[in-house]
Structure 1
Amino acid sequence: MKLMKAVVVFLVVALLAVPASAEFDFPEFDLGGKTVNIWCWYDIELDERIAEVEEMFNVKIATPQVEWERQSESYMSRLLAGDSEYDIWYASHEFAIPIMKDGAFYPMNTILPEEYFENADPHLKAMIDNLILDGNIYAFNSMHSAMNDMSFFVWNKSLFEREGLPDLEEAYYNDEWTWELATEIAIKATRDTDGDGIVDQYGFSEVYPWSFVLSHGATVVKQDDSGKWVFSLDDDDALEALQQLYEWSHVNQVVEGDWFQTPFREGKRAFANMPAWMLWSLADEIDDEYGVLPYPKGPSNDYYVAPTEVLNMFYIPANSANPLAMAAIVDHLMPEADDYFYDVIEGQILGQAPDRASAEIMEDAILNWDGQFDIVRGFAGATILEEALWSILSGEKTPAQGMSEVKQQIQAAVDDLLN
């Protein structure tokens, strides 16, 4: 299916083309020909800007790559060995959070003025604010928006037309895209299509459970009035979301598939649950027409939510020889303030939105995002939590039972990570 380079995209990015951070005049730096390593898990492809920075700072920029799953280990090893004095680290929050309390990162609020953060673009500020730990700001800039790993519902328009199912763009704009409607559609779509007595078409492939919980206004953990991080999957809105997942999987039996959403790509699912990065290649992997939606609204939702799975941010090592200079390098490598979201988001929407309506909906999602993400993603209690989840989805335990049984264990892991 061809991607439509819709005119709406230019309207989208015009709205988003606002300063990424407050105007701040960094002093001039001469780093005497030092080599600064900007670590990331992929090629950051900023050659032209790197050349400018090298001349401006009298510095050599290297861009070594770290293995995705070894970010925590690799960065901490460099710090302990004293090799990170001229490092800049790009890290996913699931690998950054575990080493924050170990003193891995420089507190940027001690060298950058409060106005730098307070006057930041609201979207970037939300990313920064949600990664503050113990009152310190460690994550201070990003090459990505929260949309990079934002989770969406993708619907198979061709299947909907074949099955006589309702237009979900109309439902979205009429504020009718709800759990109830998603359930009705999934039940109708789940059937034996070739008469062999075996169901081969379903409503959903795998529904990402924690993203679904986040989309309902719930969280795995939250801060109480004292600032302590506490387990919160036993809150009512979380239990409602877990109950809905159980009903889809076990009662309605409309879920069958895998994390990669393979059956959706084969045209055999009404819905797929996908992080935005999967949308880059989806048009080449599916023959059917499709559209992009946020998560359906549940009983605790006042508005649509598309949560993000990962926040990728820049950090400066705690032993930096010149943390302000490293921050200045990052600032100069990023787009000009007025072009920041134009550069960061325009290409993503152009490359991911299959049509005009999807582009508008993705615009709504990024404008409405205000911090829905899982701060403890991949933490020490994740395995225990997954086991509890599957006991709920299988009907072995109710959501309340499953969460109450692991609450103390998860809280202990949360204490080690955040408190």
Structure 2
Amino acid sequence: MRKRSKAILAVLLVATMVLPMMACGKKSTTDTGSDKTAEPTVTSGAESDTEDTGAEATAAPTQAGTEDPFASYPAFDMGGRTIKIAMFYDMYYDSTDTVPEDNPNVTNVELAQKLIDNVRRVEEKYNVKIEYVNPGSDALVDSLNTSVVAGTPDYDVYLTQLSFALPLAVNGYFENLSDISKDYEDINNNRNIITPFEIAGTNSFFSKSGKNVAATYMVYNADTLKQLGLEDPNELYAKGEWTWEKFEELAKASNQDTDNNGVTDIYGYGGDLSLTLLEFLASNNAILVKEDGTEGLTDPKTVEVFQFLSKLYNDDKAGRPLTDDWNDNIYAWTQNKCVFAPTPMYIIQGEEINFNYRIVPWPKGPSGDGTKAGQSFNDYFVIPKGIKDADKVYQIIEEFFGGWYGNDLEARDVDMIELAESCFLDENDVDTAFKIGEMGNGDLWSVVDKNYIVNSIFSSVCVKKDMTPAQAVAANKQLFQDEIDKLLK
């Protein structure tokens, strides 16, 4: 199933997902003039002659089954205004583009033309221009913290990371989507175009709808398990038997000393620490940042996670020792240094792997229910308070984002489906990837924990071994609460 070029896959991933910053610890903070990214990839309607009368529209609240999904969206005159969308990378296509080749890296001319045609249609319907603006990451954040806070936003819409925007959202600097959206709009119905993201009591963030590949999967070497005569995790999952206990059993049995020198060469489990913590916490239903803004470090569910990891790494010796080299940790499974590992999709698509690998949802912890995965946060759009006619801007954005595919969700999702098909060897893993992408638990801890407090707890328990799990979480309780307060208050 791996059939698409790495270059194209990389472009799609950049356009549609935010890789967990906690996992790689790096993200460019300045724009380097990189090529724009094509619009149709997702995450993640049509014209009217009605003139704007200032009255609330009362169109039917559903689009399902209609040939024109935007027939219920009334036209209005924006007086030639340019709606500016600030992003930290370049994006095609907008009102400044006229032909597919305006994107020097265009690969699908037919699709590019659909995007351009939709731009022209939206321009005509609303007498408006739409422009993507890339001021660079630093300048975009500065604009949020200065112009938005001052009530005079530089841009009409911002695409930004949650860590930068959440404090502003909590303090009311962005429009509440419930206040500016209409009953007939997609966000209040099918959500085929826009998906809102409610977090920390806010309802300001939204993203393009579509198949979600921003997730961390448990990957395993299926060849090794078969050679060792061990049970297949996906079969265990199908029977409802995929638990921490069963995972531990397989991980221990997968340890191998291939040259008989008394040193383990292949470990049962290995990989990036932050991703390991993200997923084992979620699989035990442990929430570190509770809805009321208090810490969950000292919750018994959290303590259970560190007790289990201590057993896996210290007692069972089934956890591959972590190194200071992030690449060595995250790519260890691709080099057959461990059998089980956490991995995001971009690691899979970026490597030539010479064995049969599979993915499976994370095993269920003793306090888990098997329905949750770690939250990988997308970049989100926000509309700042202070812009004129925010409700009209939002309506135009919906039609601008979704007008090229209308009700054809297969067209919307084709790139994400092809991306997943190109990354996995078993077609069942494509569905598994999308399933895990929808299981995020919404826990903000990976955004809050800028000082890697949770990682340090692991270090105390599993590396230094100078504290018990209960002692380590208690020692860091107030530090973690302080980090929560910085972000949410």
Tell me if both proteins adopt one fold, taking TM over 0.5 as the criterion: yes
Matched residue of 1:128: which SS? strand
- In structure 2, the residue matched to 1:174 is 239
Matched residue of 2:206: which SS? coil
CA distance in 2, matches of 1:22, 1:401: 54
Kindly provide the CA deviation profile for residues 347-393 of structure 1, in whole angstroms up to 9, marking residues without a partner as x.
453344331221232344346x2x51332433366433432332123
Alpha-carbon distance change, 393 to 82 in structure 1, aligned in 2, over 3 angstroms: same
CA distance in 1, matches of 2:411, 2:283: 26
Cα shift at 1:120 = 4.6
RMSD: 3.3
- In structure 2, the residue matched to 1:150 is 215
Which amino acid in the other structure matches residue 347 of structure 2?
A: M
Structure in which a larger fraction of residues adopt helix: 1
TM normalised by structure 1 equals 0.81
Q: Is the 8 A contact 1:169 1:357 kept in 2?
A: no
- In structure 1, the residue matched to 2:303 is 239
- In structure 2, the residue matched to 1:307 is 374
Alpha-carbon distance change, 65 to 120 in structure 1, aligned in 2, over 3 angstroms: same
Cα shift at 1:82 = 6.9
CA distance in 1, matches of 2:336, 2:258: 12
CA distance in 1, matches of 2:62, 2:479: 42
- In structure 2, the residue matched to 1:328 is 395
Cα shift at 1:211 = 2.8
CA distance in 2, matches of 1:182, 1:340: 37
TM normalised by structure 2 equals 0.70
**1:316 paired to 2:383:** yes
- In structure 2, the residue matched to 1:402 is 472
Cα shift at 1:122 = 10
Q: Is the 8 A contact 1:107 1:137 kept in 2?
A: yes
Alpha-carbon distance change, 154 to 62 in structure 1, aligned in 2, over 3 angstroms: same
Cα shift at 1:324 = 1.6
Kindly provide the CA deviation profile for residues 259-301 of structure 1, in whole angstroms up to 9, marking residues without a partner as x.
552111112221120123434x14x431211111111111122
**Residue of 237, 249, 262 corresponding to 1:184:** 249
Alpha-carbon distance change, 165 to 71 in structure 1, aligned in 2, over 3 angstroms: farther
**1:210 paired to 2:275:** no
CA distance in 2, matches of 1:401, 1:123: 47
Alpha-carbon distance change, 111 to 139 in structure 1, aligned in 2, over 3 angstroms: same
Which amino acid in the other structure matches residue 178 of structure 2?
A: N
Matched residue of 2:250: which SS? helix
Number of matched residues?
391
- In structure 2, the residue matched to 1:34 is 81
Greater relative contact order, per chain length (Cα 8 Å cut-off, separation 6+): 1
Cα shift at 1:304 = 4.5
Percentage of identical aligned residues: 25
Kindly provide the CA deviation profile for residues 59-114 of structure 1, in whole angstroms up to 9, marking residues without a partner as x.
33322336568764453344357773542112232332133234432222222247
Alpha-carbon distance change, 73 to 156 in structure 1, aligned in 2, over 3 angstroms: farther
CA distance in 1, matches of 2:132, 2:334: 35
Alpha-carbon distance change, 101 to 169 in structure 1, aligned in 2, over 3 angstroms: closer
CA distance in 2, matches of 1:275, 1:114: 37
CA distance in 2, matches of 1:167, 1:285: 23
Alpha-carbon distance change, 87 to 118 in structure 1, aligned in 2, over 3 angstroms: closer
Alignment of 1:246-261 (within 5 A): 246-256=310-320, 257=322, 259-260=326-327, 261=330
Cα shift at 1:118 = 5.4
**1:84 paired to 2:153:** yes
Kindly provide the CA deviation profile for residues 28-59 of structure 1, in whole angstroms up to 9, marking residues without a partner as x.
24333333222233444445344443343333
Unaligned 5+ segments in structure 1 are: 5-18
**Which structure has the bigger radius of gyration?**
2
Alignment of 1:361-400 (within 5 A): 361-366=432-437, 369=439, 371-379=440-448, 382-394=451-463, 395-400=465-470
- In structure 2, the residue matched to 1:221 is 289
Matched residue of 1:177: which SS? coil
Kindly provide the CA deviation profile for residues 312-364 of structure 1, in whole angstroms up to 9, marking residues without a partner as x.
32211222222123212321133356445862453453344331221232344
Alpha-carbon distance change, 259 to 252 in structure 1, aligned in 2, over 3 angstroms: farther
Greater Cα shift, 170-179 or 357-366: 357-366
